[in-house]
Chain A
Amino acid sequence: GAGVSQTPSNKVTEKGKYVELRCDPISGHTALYWYRQSLGQGPEFLIYFQGTGAADDSGLPNDRFFAVRPEGSVSTLKIQRTERGDSAVYLCASSLGGRSPLHFGNGTRLTVT
């Protein structure tokens, strides 16, 4: 079946601009996660959704970052006033929740110039 889909695969933007990153999870997966991965490092937790609500957003670095999942399926990660330090690969994962494995998409590589 279809896996987790993330679009765009690459995004280049100028410092100060606004960006949206989209994630289509596996159908039926109630849990959705956003992670950020810098070069040579492991994924860093950003936010977790159970259904439509953000159950844990403690990993969002500051109030420039925001994520939504209005219908409990597709999620959008929004970054305002982008900074060069936001450059990274943003990974989305979905799961059945609880003690079940995360299934990752291939990520969006964000470059802020």
Chain B
Amino acid sequence: GESVGLHLPTLSVQEGDNSIINCAYSNSASDYFIWYKQESGKGPQFIIDIRSNMDKRQGQRVTVLLNKTVKHLSLQIAATQPGDSAVYFCADLYNFNKFYFGSGTKLNVKP
């Protein structure tokens, strides 16, 4: 099957700094991508999505960048807060009905 992976398993940032979480995907046919946040004991929570006809999308304090040439996705979090501490997953939609998830990046926000 296809795989979605993350470059850094753990990321530590200072409160107030910007965070960048990276993700590589392998299936060039994937055309829809999602970032999720997962806190301990909870299910993944939707953050932001992007379709392959876009290369950038912004939400509240978050921006997703998509580089289809190198099959790379990133999540930027502005002014990171302690409440942002969690595990972040990217997922890509394969074959129109199956989402593949990476292994996740743990974000630690230091006060």
Contacts and interface: CB of A to CB of B under 8 A. Distances in A.
Given A99-B32, A99-B51, A101-B49, A91 B97 contact: no
A105 B45 CA distance: 9
A25 interface: no
B41 A106 contact: yes
Interface stretch (B13-21, B69-77, B78-86, B98-106): B98-106
B interface bracket (residues with beta carbon within 8 Å of A) = 20 to 34
Nearest to B51: A99
Nearest to A103: B46
Contacts, number: 59
B101 A42 contact: yes
Interface stretch (A14-22, A48-56, A61-69, A72-80): A48-56
Interface in B15-65: 31-32, 34, 36, 41-46, 49, 51
Contact of B46 (A55, A102, A107): A102
Which 9 residue pairs of A and B lie closest in terms of their CB atoms, listed nearest first?
A104-B43, A42-B101, A99-B32, A101-B46, A106-B43, A43-B101, A104-B44, A42-B103, A42-B89
25 contacts: A31-B97, A33-B99, A40-B103, A40-B104, A41-B103, A41-B104, A42-B4, A42-B91, A42-B103, A43-B44, A43-B101, A50-B97, A58-B98, A93-B43, A98-B96, A99-B31, A99-B32, A99-B51, A99-B96, A101-B46, A102-B34, A102-B46, A104-B43, A105-B43, A106-B41
